[in-house]
């Protein structure tokens, strides 16, 4: 894993405007071990913070444009999704594909992915 000179970590959060993602974002921004948070989402966060870099991305079926934002990260948190009823059935059916596309983008950028806390 990459680390800064002070051993702080760089973190990317995908989907930081939702219930889970917004909590992860607040926690990461307040945590002293995190030096930078790149938040990638479909909507603007509406906040600013010295540690925060925001990247808007509308089409998660194609994550190829995210290569630069995903590079030079130590870890990733994937919280992208939607609530049932919040979008049309057609849009909801796209969700598994967006997860697969994002996973490919993360692996291409060599961002460590972990399914459980260490």
Q: Is residue 67 part of a domain?
A: yes
Q: Is residue 30 part of a domain?
A: yes
pLDDT of residue 58: 80
Domain membership of residue 34 as a residue range: 9-108
pLDDT in tens, 18-76: 888 999 999 999 999 999 999 998 889 999 999 999 999 887 767 778 888 888 889 88
pLDDT of residue 22: 92
> 67-93 as b/e, with b when 16 or more CB fall inside 10 Å?
eebbeebbbbbbbbbeeeeeeeeeeee
Residue 101 has pLDDT above 80, yes or no: no
For residue 51, give the CATH number of its domain. Answer: 3.40.50.720
pLDDT of residue 59: 74
Compute CA 36 distance to the chain's CA centroid, rounded to the nearest angstrom: 12
Give the model's confidence band at 5: pLDDT under 50 very low, under 70 low, under 90 confident, else very high. very low
Q: What's the pTM?
A: 0.71
């Amino acid at each position: 894993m990459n680390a800064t000179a002070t051993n702080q970590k760089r973190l990317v959060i995908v989907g930081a405007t939702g219930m889970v993602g917004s909590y992860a974002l607040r926690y990461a921004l307040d945590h002293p071990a995190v030096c930078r948070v790149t938040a990638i989402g479909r909507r603007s966060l509406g906040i600013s913070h010295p540690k925060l870099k925001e990247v808007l991305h509308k089409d998660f079926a194609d994550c190829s444009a995210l290569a630069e934002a995903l590079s030079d990260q130590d870890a990733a948190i994937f919280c992208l999704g939607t609530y049932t009823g919040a979008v049309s059935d057609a849009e909801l059916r796209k969700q598994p594909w967006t997860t697969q596309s994002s996973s490919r983008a993360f692996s291409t950028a060599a961002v460590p992915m972990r399914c459980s806390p260490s």
